Amino acid sequence: MELVVLLACLGWVCWPVLGDMIHRWSTDPRYGHGYLVPLFALGLLWMRRPSYDLDRARGSLWGVVLVASGSAVYLLGGYVGSGWIEGLSLLPVLTGLCVLFGGTTALRWAAPSLAFLFFMIPLPWRFEVALGASLQRIATKLSTVSLQTLGFVAYSEGNVIVMEEGRIGVVEACSGLGMLMTFIAISTAVAIVVQRPWFDRILIVLSAIPIALIANIARITLTGVLHETVGGEWADRFYHDLAGWLMIPFALGLLMIELWVLSRLFVELEAEEPVPGLAMMGFAGNAGHRGVSNLRAGEHAAPPLPGPTRSTD
């Protein structure tokens, strides 16, 4: 009951910040995935429920420290007028409530879900501008090279690709920033859920950036091809409507290919059955465990084979 009351108070205090987030999710295509982030976090809690030992859960007063720290961050965000800092304050507050009522046991259970909530917070405006401009330049240059490789006449003027039959403007909305943020969240979710070694999971998260860039470059390149083949009307319709829906499935397909490649490159070896003859002489049947006997409990190695003896004077 106390937890419900505290969550209600938290929602009342932080409602302006939550309202701004929901507004961005609804109006900004770059953060349309924000609605799915809390749902995935709740689903992840449900999936990890066997790891939560209710009998060992003991609340800790360290949670009060975390809640106080989050409250201080919230006040700081309001003082400097940063919605991003205000939104970020929700993470230490929720973590503190988790520790306050469940201790380290609850924290281990909820930590992946709490960390994933970071993706529902819109980025600071200055960071969006700087990152969006860089992505515009990269997408324009590489798309121009891609069209030239396909045999089309194309060159770039700033963030505009000039072709024989038209011009493609890589505006800020089409820079790929929305695709990048969405796909980083998706890749992180896949890395959390998939049963793979930690090295593979890190690669999956890091690969979100090049995969998102490849998807956006493919979108711009295909638009240029349509400009030169079927006309500008169909190309513009594809660029602004259909391509936006196809980018996520295309990027997910690339991610599935990456998972398939990783499963072929890094294969986990299972213990092999010992070879009977070698086991009797104390050799391991698995090449990765040299010098370790595979004899079962209660078995004894065979006595050494008789051999020629040397006489000494």
d(CA 8, CA 226): 53
Distance separating alpha carbons of residues 303 and 309, to the nearest angstrom: 16
Instruction: Please give the Cα distance from 195 to 261 (Å, whole number).
Output: 15
- Model confidence pLDDT, tens digit, residues 183-206: 888 888 888 888 888 888 888 899
Report residue 116's pLDDT band, with 50, 70 and 90 as the boundaries: very high
How many CA atoms lie less than 13 Å away from 189 in the CB half-sphere?
23
H/E stretch holding 157 reads strand 154-157
**For 86-98, what is the mean pLDDT?**
89
Q: What is d(CA 44, CA 119) in angstroms, rounded to the nearest whole number?
A: 15
Cα dihedral angle (230, 236, 240, 244), rounded to 10 degrees?
A: 20
Number of Cα atoms under 13 Å in the Cβ half of residue 10 = 22
Burial 215-254 (b: 16+ CB within 10 A, else e): bbbbbbbbbbbbbbeeebeebeebbeeebbeebbebbbeb
Angle between helices 208-229 and 177-193 (to 10 degrees): 140
Report pLDDT digits (tens) over 209-262: 888 888 888 888 888 888 778 766 666 666 655 666 677 788 888 888 888 888
pTM (two decimals): 0.70
Separation CA 293–CA 302 (nearest Å)? 12
Q: Quick one: pLDDT at residue 118?
A: 92
The structural domains of the chain, with segments of one domain joined by +, span: 2-122, 126-265
Angle between helices 208-229 and 243-265 in degrees, nearest 10? 130
Q: Tell me the pLDDT tens digit for each residue of 280-308.
A: 444 444 444 444 444 444 444 455 555 55
The per-residue pLDDT for 292 is 42
Residue 311 has pLDDT above 50, yes or no: no
The yes-or-no verdict on residue 110 having pLDDT over 60 is: yes
